Amino acid sequence: LQHHTSPCINTKTQYLQLVLVVVLLLSLEGDADLQFLLKGGELMKVKSSTWKKNRFFKLQEDCTTMWHESNKPFGKKQTFSIDDIDSVRKGRESEGLQKYTDAQEEDRCFSIIFKGRRKNLDLMATSAEDVQQWVSGLDKIITNTKKLNLFSSLHGKYSSWIFDEMRKADKNKDNMMDLKELKHFLRQINIQVDDSYAAVLFKECDTSNSGTLEGPEIKEFYDLLTHRQEIDVIYGKYSSTDGQMGAEDLLDFLHNEQCEQVTLEDAVKLIEKYEPDDSAKQQSHMTKDGFLMYLQQEEGSIFNPAHKEVFQDMSQPLNHYFVSSSHNTYLTGDQLKSLSSTEAYIKALMKSCRCVELDCWDGPNGEPVIYHGYTLTSKVLFKDVIKAIREYAFKTSEYPVILSLENHCTLDQQKLMAQHMRTILGSALLTAPLEDQMPTTFPSPKELKGRFIIKGQRLNKLDTVFGSSPGVEVESISEEDEAAEVNDAKIDSNGQKAKSELSDLVIYCKSVHFSGFENAKAKQAFYEMSSFKETKAANLAETAANAFIHHNMSKLSRIYPAGSRTDSSNYNPVPMWNTGCQIVALNFQTPSKEMDLNQGRFRPNGMSGYILKPDFLRQAGSAFDPVTLTDGPWLKRKVLHVMVISAQQLPKLNKEKTKSIVDPLVRVEIYGVPVDNASKETHHIDNNGFNPMWNKKFQFNLKVPDLAMVRFLVEDYDHTSHNDFIGQFSMPLTSLQNGYRHVPLLTKRGDVIPCAGLFVHIILLDP
C-alpha cells in the first residue's frame, strides 16, 4: 500500500485505479500465494525439445500485469495482462508439455492458456510446491480481476480502458496532457476531430490557462467525451422526483419502456444495487449515473438474464433437442495442412460443444492416431484426445457428450481404441442401455448427465445386449464421412471378436446408411442414425421438409460439411435446424457468420449445448413445413421493431495506424424460415468509433418467431472494397428483451470485446 500511496495521484482515473488495487490487495490480505507472485521466481519456459530456457516471472505491483524476463530484441513487449489469460492448467496438460517433457516431471509443469489464437505459455517450476503456488495465485488474481472489472463498471465510469489510453497519450509521464497529447488520445479512443474543434475543446477544458490539462480539467475533458445525449433524453423523461428518478419513476420506466412485469420492490432493489450516490440511494432515488450503470449491466442487456441458466425441460428424449456439434474437431485450421491438436477439442468443449468428431487411423507403435487422412495435417494420439475429452467435457456443461467416430483403423488398433475409452473414461462411458429391458426411445439429457455416448458402427442389433437378437449384422455405409466405419474384408472369426469390443460400445447412436424416409420408418430402429452431407441435407430440407421433420421426431440426424470445403469453411445451419436435425456439425475452428449463428443458437439454456426444439418439430402429426407455410401453431405472427440508437467504444481495426478511424455501420439480420429471412442496415458514420449515433428504425414482420435468430453486425464501411468486420452478437429471438437495451459485441472468434457495445430499442409486438 505504501508503494501506491504516492502524492502523484492528481486525476480521478489514477485514484480509481488505486482504489481497485487496494480492493484487490485487501481482498487477498496476507495471502501467501499473492505474496509469492509479487516476489516472483524463475521458471523454465518450454518451446521444444531443444528450447528450454529459464526466465524470471513476477506479478507487477498493479496486480493486473505479469512481467517476464526476455532476451528478445530491444522494444519487444515483456508483459501480458491478467485479462488476456483464459485459464491456468496444472500438469502436462498442453501438447507441448506432453511432447517435450518427461512423465515424471508432471507435478512440476503448468500452462498459461491465452484467449484468442495466442500460443500457450508452457512452464516448469523447480518443485511441485512452487507449481501449486503459481497456479493457485494466478487463479485467485484472475478471479479477483473479473470481480474488480465489475466493480469498476459499477462504481465509476472511468474505465481501465480509458485510463490505459490516457496513460499512453501522456508521452512525458507528467500526468498532464498538452494539445498534441490530446489529439493522440482522441485518435487512440477512435474519434477524429479537426484541428479547430480540438483547439476549442482543449481551451474549454483548460480553465487554468496553463496550456495543459490536469486534475479536474482532465475529468471535464473526459466528461465531454463520454456524455451520452440519448441517456439524457431517456432519463429526463422519467426523472420527475426532484430532478431525479424516484422508485415510482423507475417503475414506470420498467413498465412502459422495458415491458417488464415487476413491482415497486423490484425497482427499489435496482436502485440499491446500482446507485453509487449514497444520499440518493437513501431516498430511493436513482441518479443519471446509476441509471446508466443499470442499463449497462445484466438487467439492461438485450439477452434475457433468465436464459443464462438452464430453464428448459431437460427430461425429453435426446432427439428432441438441438445439439451443439463440431466437425473435424481435432483441426486448428484447414483440412489439408493444419495442425491436429487436443487443444482444439478443449476449446470446442469449453464452448459447450456436445458432439465431437474423431477421425481414427492406424498409428506407429500400434497406437491409433487422429488426423485428416491422406493429407498433410499433423497427427495426435487417440489416447491423448480421449484424456483431454475426459478432463474438459463437463467443465462448462454437465450434459452428455457424443463421440462421433470415423473409424479407419485395422482390427488390432480398433481393439486398443475400445480399451483406451473404457480405461480413460471409466464409468462415465455408456456401455449399456440405461434401462433393464430393450428401450423404445432415447433417454433424456438429464438422465445422461456426465456420460459419454459413442456414435459409430455396431455389428448387431441393440437387442443382443438383452440376449434377444443373436447373430452378426454387417451393413454398408456410403456417406463419405463414415465410409470407413465398416471394413467387410477384415470381418472374420477372429476379427469379429476384436471389432466387437469397439462395436459393443455403440448403444444409442448406431451409424446406418440412409435409404429414404419410408425405408427408415419401416426398418430403422430409433437408435440407428444416419449422417447427411450438407448438399444432400439441403436438398431434403428443400424438397421433403415435413418428411425430414417426422424422421427426426423419432431418430437422430447428423449433418456434416461437404468434403470440397478444404478450407474448413461452414454451411448455413439454419435450414437444418428448421427441419429438426439435431447434430448439425460445423467447423468450430473457422470464424464465420455460420459459427456466429451456432454460438447464438446455443447461448440460452445455461450454455448447456442442448436446446429443446419447438413443439411443432416434436409432436406427431405436425404439418409444419418451413418452405411452404400453412396455418398451424407455428404461425405466431410478430412485428419486431428495432431502433439502432448508438454504439460505444468500437475497437480500432488497424492499431498500427494511429490515424485509422472506423466509419461504422450496423446491420440487423434475421435468420429463420425462408419467408422470415431479412437484413437491414444503417448509414455509416464517418470517423467515429467512440460514440457514433444513428437513431435508425427498422421493422421486421415475422411468421415463425420460434425459429428466428437475430444477428447484430457492426462493420467498418469501405466504399472501395468489402466492409471490415468490427463485432457481432447473435441470439434467438425468443431470448430477446424489449425496451432500451445494450448489445455486447463479440470478436470473430466469439470473445467479448471489452467496453464495446450497441445501444438499441426493441419492441416485439403482435401485428
List domains and CATH numbers for the chain: 31-155 (2.30.29.30), 229-300 (1.10.238.10), 318-617 (3.20.20.190), 638-765 (2.60.40.150)
* 134-167 confidence digits (pLDDT tens): 999 999 888 877 666 544 443 443 344 556 666 6
Distance CA 645, CA 403 (A): 45
Question: Residue 63, annotated ligand binder?
Answer: yes
Which pTM was predicted? 0.83
* 680-690 confidence digits (pLDDT tens): 999 999 998 88
Distance CA 272, CA 340 (A): 51
* 83-102 confidence digits (pLDDT tens): 888 889 999 988 899 989 99
Question: Residue 58, annotated ligand binder?
Answer: yes
Question: Residue 223, annotated ligand binder?
Answer: no
**Is 677 a residue whose pLDDT tops 70?**
yes
Average pLDDT over residues 700-722: 96
Q: Are 405 and 360 in contact (CB under 8 A)?
A: yes
**Is 655 a residue whose pLDDT tops 60?**
no
Question: Residue 26, annotated ligand binder?
Answer: no
Higher pLDDT residue, 743 or 225? 743
Question: Residue 72, annotated ligand binder?
Answer: yes
Q: Are 297 and 730 in contact (CB under 8 A)?
A: no
Name the pLDDT band for 736 (thresholds 50, 70, 90).
very high
Question: Residue 717, annotated ligand binder?
Answer: yes
Name the phi and psi angles at 280, rounded to 5. -65, -40
Which residue has cell 468509433? 689
Name the phi and psi angles at 541, rounded to 5. -65, -25
* Confidence at residue 540, expressed as pLDDT on a 0 to 100 scale: 98
Average pLDDT over residues 540-550: 97
**Is 131 a residue whose pLDDT tops 90?**
yes
- Measuring CA to CA, which residue among 716, 718, 728 is closest to residue 688? 716
Question: Residue 61, annotated ligand binder?
Answer: yes
User: Residue 404 in 3-state DSSP?
Assistant: strand
Q: Distance between terminal CA atoms of the chain?
A: 61
**Is 76 a residue whose pLDDT tops 50?**
yes
Q: Are 17 and 151 in contact (CB under 8 A)?
A: no
* 25-72 confidence digits (pLDDT tens): 655 667 888 889 999 999 999 999 999 999 999 998 878 889 998 877
Q: What share of the chain is helix, strand, coil (3-state, %, to 5)?
A: 35, 25, 40
**Is 22 a residue whose pLDDT tops 80?**
no
Pairing outcome for strands 709-716 and 664-671: antiparallel
- Which segments of 24-105 are extended strands (E)? 41-46, 52-59, 65-68, 79-81, 85-90
* Confidence at residue 476, expressed as pLDDT on a 0 to 100 scale: 41
Q: Are 671 and 677 in contact (CB under 8 A)?
A: yes
Question: Residue 230, annotated ligand binder?
Answer: no
Higher pLDDT residue, 4 or 513? 513
State the catalytic residues: 327, 372
- Ranking 79-83, 263-267, 467-471, 753-757 by mean pLDDT, the lowest is 467-471
- What region does 82 belong to: left with phi over 0, alpha with psi -120 to 50, or beta? alpha
Distance CA 504, CA 501 (A): 5
**Is 423 a residue whose pLDDT tops 90?**
yes
* 239-295 confidence digits (pLDDT tens): 998 889 999 999 999 999 999 999 999 999 999 998 888 889 999 999 988 898 899
Q: What are the angstrom distances between the C-alpha of 732 and each of 613, 640, 751?
A: 12, 13, 18
Average pLDDT over residues 705-732: 96
Q: Which residue type sits at 266?
A: D
Question: Residue 60, annotated ligand binder?
Answer: yes
- Which residues 6+ apart lie within 8 Å of 291 measured at CB? 231, 234, 235, 245, 274
The torsion of the CA quartet 690, 693, 696, 698, rounded to 10 degrees, works out to 30
- Which residues 6+ apart lie within 8 Å of 512 measured at CB? 475, 477, 524, 528, 529, 530
Burial (CB count <10 Å: 0-12, 13-18, 19+), residue 365:
exposed
Q: Are 162 and 222 in contact (CB under 8 A)?
A: yes
- For residue 729 the three cell numbers come to 452478437
* Confidence at residue 197, expressed as pLDDT on a 0 to 100 scale: 57
CA angle 193, 196, 198 (to 5 degrees): 50
- For residue 426 the three cell numbers come to 471409466
Question: Residue 663, annotated ligand binder?
Answer: yes
Name the phi and psi angles at 321, rounded to 5. -125, 150
Distance CA 49, CA 537 (A): 47
